[in-house]
Amino acid sequence: MDTIYKITFVFALFVLAPFSAQAASLNFSPPSGSYSVGSTFSVNVNVESSDQAMNAASGVVSFPWDKFEVVSISKQGSIFSLWPAEPSFSNSQGTVSFEGIVLNPGYTGASGKILTITFRARSAGQANLSFSSGSVLANDGTGMNILNGLRMAVFTLTAAGERPPLAPQTETPPVATGNTLGITSATHPDQGKWYADNTPEFSWKLPEGTLEVRTLIGKSPVGNPSVSYIPPISKKKIDELPDGTYYFSLQARTSAGWSAVSRYRVNIDTTPPKPFSISFPHGNKGLEPQPVVFFNTTDNESGISHYEIKIGSDTKPVKTAPLAESNPYVLPSQIPGAYTLFVSAIDNAGNIRSGSAEFTIEGIDAPVITHYPEAIEEGDILKVRGTTYPDSDVIVSIREGNSLMSEEFTRSNSLGDFALVATKRLDPGVYTIILHVKDDRGAQSAETSPLTITVRSEFVTGLIGFTLKYLSVAILILLALGALVWIGARLWFRIPRTISRMRREAREAEKTSERAFKVLRDGVQKHVARLKKVNRKLTDEEAEFLEQFEQKLEEAEEVVTKEIRDISNS
């Protein structure tokens, strides 16, 4: 059965829902009250979503187990029709948990009852109900968490027979009556309001024939004027008055006698409210994006009009009522960082008393990106995958330089895995993507380091493909041409040196051959001379051989010398 509910829960979030998103809050009704120890009382847990339909909510209510205990939980009259998990409570831990679904078209309203908790008071003192976590999901097809406020309830528990303390009230003095002389005040024009100006001015119109006037300024609404002015005056400025309510009394005398006393009341408060401190009951440092803060003060004269709350020096202050919202007060959701909270208490005369306190919102862990493309083609869809906290919102910012091009949203599953398919097609260029995560409480992480993605245009991609296709052939041709140029250059520089060397060697060979043939001729001539000295006469064949040998030797010398010279001259 639980499986069917959870399937229906997902179906209700992502299939049945129309689209849009605003804001919602979780609160208690009544927000305050006084009960005696041992008595039981009921508190409704409500959702407010006036501007946007919601279809699911969940949360954990925290209560001080030493002050009261849960007697029962009732779903009667709830706006929820499905419960993925039945509401439960633990008196030992001081918690009540709930999770429910409203089918399409969802719920829109200011006071949608989720459940009713019946408590029994255990001990005297002040007891606060608060939400330690919560979520309200929009009926927009994405299940976006639109929760922006977690309210608190404050209860006073008294011992049996003890009367609860009365709420402080500021007494408003009665407006003076009887003003036949038409007294007015430019400095204090409204008799029912308080002013920080302690030098009031009054004016009036003198009746015809006025002979004398007398005045009085005091705290009694029935005082008789005693200060006389002859000739009569028609205006008067009072010197500095202490804080309080005063009555200006006036009479005029004519020949007919004294007129009735006219009175005009002024309320003066020049003192700011009493100093106060700001405290964080759950600590001034933590993961909770909407910390709870306590502050309260009083004003002796005019009373507290309202508080102005501001986070940081550059934000606009938020005005809140003096008691119902100020103590305790749930701050608006903040991103991780260190902050200064400024609280100004403003009384009904406009006097201001301010205080400040530091607090820090710690960031949850940033998401881990497991896959993203470093480059995509123009027209392709950007896809990013990663892991983070289960059932949390992942926000992806796509930037080109300092310009935000798109902000995309997705949600992790129950295992913490997420996948984003960007809805915006990117033009050619270089982009960076940055991710951060927000859980159901609204707690956010720091941003991931920027990742760079290049979107290539179709023209550039085609040009690169064409270049790569024919690049190998071009490279081979260039290499061949380079080789030929290199060989030609080497030959061009080596041939002259070779020719010069050959000529030098030819000259040396020519000289060597001349010396060799000279040696041969000298040797032959010595042998011929030796033969001629012999007593025997040379035969005709021997004489012919010697003659021919000398002739062939000369011819050989001429041939060798000529070839060597031809080589040297070539």
Between the alpha carbon of residue 11 and those of residues 56, 104, 105, 147, 570, the distances in Å are 11, 10, 13, 21, 101
Looking at the DSSP bridge assignments, the partners of residue 354 are 344
pLDDT in tens, 182-227: 999 999 999 999 999 999 999 999 999 999 999 999 999 988 999 9
Cα of 140 vs its chain's centroid, Å: 23
- Of the pLDDT bands very low, low, confident and very high (cuts 50, 70, 90), residue 50 is confident
What is the model's pLDDT at position 481? 80
Q: How many CA atoms lie within 13 A of 37 on its CB side?
A: 12
Q: Which residues contact 77 (CB under 8 A, 6 or more apart)?
A: 113, 116
**Which is higher by pLDDT, 478 or 391?**
391
The predicted model gives 24-43 an average pLDDT of: 89
What is the model's pLDDT at position 119? 93
The predicted model gives 330-355 an average pLDDT of: 92
With contact defined as beta carbons under 8 Å apart, do 204 and 236 qualify? no
Is 1.10.10.10 the CATH classification of the domain at 368-456?
Answer: no
Token couple for 402 = 């300092």
pLDDT in tens, 430-467: 999 999 998 877 888 888 999 999 988 765 555 555 55
Cα–Cα dist 203/222, whole Å = 20
**CATH code at 2-158:** 2.60.40.680
**Which is higher by pLDDT, 14 or 68?**
68
What is the model's pLDDT at position 174? 53
Least confident of 62-66, 88-92, 509-513: 509-513
- Provide, for the chain, the percentages of residues in helix, strand and coil under a 3-state DSSP scheme, each rounded to the nearest 5: 20, 40, 40
With contact defined as beta carbons under 8 Å apart, do 456 and 377 qualify? yes
Least confident of 181-190, 320-329, 352-361: 320-329
Q: Alpha-carbon Rg of the chain, whole angstroms?
A: 54
What is the model's pLDDT at position 18? 38
- Going by C-alpha positions, the residue among 23, 569, 17 that lies closest to residue 290 is 23
User: In the predicted model, what is the mean pLDDT of the chain?
Assistant: 82
Cα–Cα dist 285/359, whole Å = 6
Would you say residue 529 has pLDDT above 50?
yes
What is the model's pLDDT at position 10? 43
Would you say residue 324 has pLDDT above 60?
no
With contact defined as beta carbons under 8 Å apart, do 342 and 354 qualify? yes
3-class state of residue 101 by DSSP? strand
Q: For 300-328, what is the HEC assignment?
A: CCCCEEEEEEEECCCCCCEEECCCCCCCC
DSSP 470: H
pLDDT in tens, 464-504: 555 555 566 667 777 878 778 777 777 676 667 666 777 67
- Of the pLDDT bands very low, low, confident and very high (cuts 50, 70, 90), residue 415 is very high
Cα–Cα dist 358/172, whole Å = 37
DSSP 95: E
Residue 135 sits at φ, ψ, to 5 deg, of -155, 145
Is there a common fold for 2-158 and 368-456? yes
Would you say residue 20 has pLDDT above 60?
no
What is the model's pLDDT at position 9? 42
Cα–Cα dist 297/38, whole Å = 31
What is the model's pLDDT at position 519? 66
What is the model's pLDDT at position 315? 80
The predicted model gives 74-100 an average pLDDT of: 90
- Maximum alpha-carbon separation in the chain: 208
Q: Which amino acid is at 328?
A: P
The predicted model gives 142-152 an average pLDDT of: 80
What is the model's pLDDT at position 215? 96
**Which is higher by pLDDT, 510 or 394?**
394
What is the model's pLDDT at position 351? 96
Cα–Cα dist 105/128, whole Å = 34
Helix H or strand E encompassing 153: strand 153-158
How do 429-438 and 451-456 pair as beta strands?
A: antiparallel
Looking at the DSSP bridge assignments, the partners of residue 69 are 120
Cα of 360 vs its chain's centroid, Å: 15
Would you say residue 305 has pLDDT above 50?
yes
What is the model's pLDDT at position 510? 66
- Going by C-alpha positions, the residue among 210, 201, 145, 205 that lies closest to residue 179 is 205
What is the model's pLDDT at position 348? 94
**CATH code at 285-361:** 2.60.40.10
The predicted model gives 4-19 an average pLDDT of: 41
> What CATH architecture applies to the domain 194-268?
Sandwich (2.60)
3-class state of residue 557 by DSSP? helix
With contact defined as beta carbons under 8 Å apart, do 349 and 170 qualify? no
Q: pTM for the complete prediction?
A: 0.50
Return the residue matching tokens 């403003």: 346
Q: Give the whole-number percent of the chain exceeding pLDDT 90.
A: 38
pLDDT in tens, 56-66: 899 999 999 88
Would you say residue 82 has pLDDT above 80?
yes
With contact defined as beta carbons under 8 Å apart, do 425 and 379 qualify? yes
**What residues does each domain of the chain span?**
2-158, 194-268, 285-361, 368-456, 465-569
With contact defined as beta carbons under 8 Å apart, do 411 and 142 qualify? yes
Token couple for 502 = 């050959």
Would you say residue 173 has pLDDT above 70?
no
